[in-house]
Structure 1
Amino acid sequence: MPMKKVCPRCGATFDCMHNDILSCHCATVRLDALQRTYLMENYSDCLCHDCLKAVKDSFYACEINPRYNKKKNDKESIDCKQR
């Protein structure tokens, strides 16, 4: 049975399928280990689909999360000091 939750990031109400995780909206957003760590450190509960997608899409932008920026030798990284 779905559980109604309020997203701690944006305040939207959504259904959490904690008892059927494969049917839950969070199972459709693939996050890497750093993104998951960021969420665990900054939010005490589930985020809605839109916020999970926003974190995934903007996570490595320096203005958003410089602490989690990829290492300099990573070809996909953004060098914040050159901006």
Structure 2
Amino acid sequence: MALVHSKHEIISCERCGDRIECKANSYTKCQCSVVQLTLNETQYISEIYDGCLCAKCLLALQQEYKEME
């Protein structure tokens, strides 16, 4: 874990590896909260990934799910 001037943890997106600031203890301020997922989309993503994902990857996976429907 890299030291950054932040009170939140810096982690790698599980899908693309980009560094993201995880704000799990302050979810509404986390970068991933900008992606509004349905229950089905959330379930689809959670079946593939266990960890945090960046907003860019969440959007891509949301689109992937919609194309599969």
Class of the TM-score when normalised by the shorter of the 2 chains = 0.7 to 0.9
The equivalent residue for 1:44 is: 50
TM-score, length-scaled by structure 1: 0.68
1:11 is aligned to 2:17: yes
Q: How many residues align?
A: 63
* CA distance in 2: counterparts of 1:11 and 1:54, whole angstroms: 14
When you count helix as a share of all residues, which structure comes out higher?
2
Identical aligned residues as a percent: 30
Residue identity matched to 2:44: Y
Structure 1 runs of 4+ aligned residues shifted over 4 Å read none
Structure 1 residue runs of 5 or longer lacking an equivalent are 63-68, 70-83
SS of aligned partner of 2:16? coil
Q: CA RMSD in A?
A: 1.2
* Corresponding residue to 1:31 among 27, 31, 37: 37
Residue identity matched to 1:55: L
Tell which structure's C-alpha radius of gyration is larger: 1
* CA distance in 2: counterparts of 1:58 and 1:28, whole angstroms: 18
1:49-82: CA deviation from partner (whole Å, max 9, x where unpaired): 11011112332213xxxxxx2xxxxxxxxxxxxx
Structure 2 residue runs of 5 or longer lacking an equivalent are 1-6
TM-score, length-scaled by structure 2: 0.80
